[in-house]
Amino acid sequence: MHQKIYQDPPPAPLIDPEELGKWSFYRAIIAEFIATLLFLYITVLTVIGYKSQSSTDQCGGVGILGIAWAFGGMIFVLVYCTAGISGGHINPAVTFGLFLARKVSLVRAIMYIVAQCLGAICGCGLVKAFQKAYYVKYGGGANTLNDGYSTGTGLGAEIIGTFVLVYTVFAATDPKRNARDSHVPVLAPLPIGFAVFMVHLATIPVTGTGINPARSFGAAVVYGHNKAWDDQVMDILGWTIYWCCNCCILSSVYFEGLELLKHLVHSGAMLN
């Protein structure tokens, strides 16, 4: 059986001055900004709509399942739309993980993260502008640690959730898949969207689900209440960003390590 020959693409340079002069670089930054803006706008509206409906009717609203679908579905749509422009990161944790794996340069990673955070702030700002009364009354869609859960529990939920998402991104976008598993077609945005959906189902009752520092940061900035900032910055947001970095390291090292191990085993078999 004929086996396709695969060569690893060269790692992205740490700093690439040439990309600063390309329109495609700035187009990608704009795409990340717009995608994150739309992501926050739709999802925060969904959260506020659910809270406003369920406040008068316990069975009203879309429920946790609907909120999870909103987050997962928007990621699927936006990654599909922007993958060919910017790679469809829409998440600083994903961008940082791809930077560690040398898939993007340092300059591109920094600009993506800035664009994502600004897009998140603007998306939440639009929600507040259109529905200010509901926005303030129902918490602005900001992530807060729910009653009955400790900070450690919330942190653990965010660590595991972020790892699931980043690892899925690495697996779904693995360029070796076309050469190794060409008989198994994979639409990369689909498993990524489902990963977001499943993580939200599990962690909405705990922290409201962060796993995206831009999402948590934008909502906390626009909402601006002490409770949101206390939970986000002091306990969850600050430590989640720190542990996002660690989860991304684990994800990238583990995924790349598996490929290196398989290469060494194959080379040993050839020598024998």
Mean predicted confidence (pLDDT) in 98-115:
90
> Does any domain span residue 4?
no
CB-based contact 22:105 (threshold 8 Å): no
Mean pLDDT of the chain: 80
Rounded Cα distance between 120 and 215, Å, is: 6
- What is the identity of the amino acid at 97? G
Angle between helices 213-223 and 23-54 (to 10 degrees): 60
> Does any domain span residue 255?
yes
The helix/strand/coil state of 10 is coil
Specify the pLDDT at position 239: 46
% residues pLDDT > 90 (the chain)? 32
> Does any domain span residue 50?
yes
> Does any domain span residue 12?
no
> Does any domain span residue 6?
no
Task: Write the pLDDT tens digit of every residue in 2-58.
Answer: 555 666 677 788 888 888 888 999 999 999 999 999 999 999 999 998 888 877 766
> Does any domain span residue 187?
yes
The helix/strand/coil state of 101 is coil
Query: pLDDT at residue 183 above 80?
Result: no
Helix (H) or strand (E) holding 182: none
> Does any domain span residue 5?
no
CATH code, domain with 62 = 1.20.1080.10
Can you give the residue range of the structural domain that contains 198?
17-271
Rounded Cα distance between 210 and 207, Å, is: 7
> Does any domain span residue 108?
yes
The residue with greater pLDDT, 101 or 264, is 101
Specify the pLDDT at position 132: 86
Nearest to 205 by CA among 140, 142, 124, 149: 149
Task: Write the pLDDT tens digit of every residue in 212-250.
Answer: 888 888 888 888 766 555 555 434 454 455 455 555 555
Specify the pLDDT at position 141: 84
Rounded Cα distance between 219 and 29, Å, is: 21
Tokens of 69: 């679908």
Nearest to 44 by CA among 71, 26, 64: 71
Mean predicted confidence (pLDDT) in 110-123:
94
Rounded Cα distance between 222 and 45, Å, is: 14
Query: pLDDT at residue 70 above 80?
Result: yes
The helix/strand/coil state of 145 is coil
Domain total for the chain?
A: 1
Helices (H), 5-22: none
Answering whether pTM is above 0.85, one says no
Assign 3-state DSSP to the chain and report helix, strand, coil percentages, each to 5.
75, 0, 25
Confidence of residue 121 (pLDDT cuts 50, 70, 90): very high
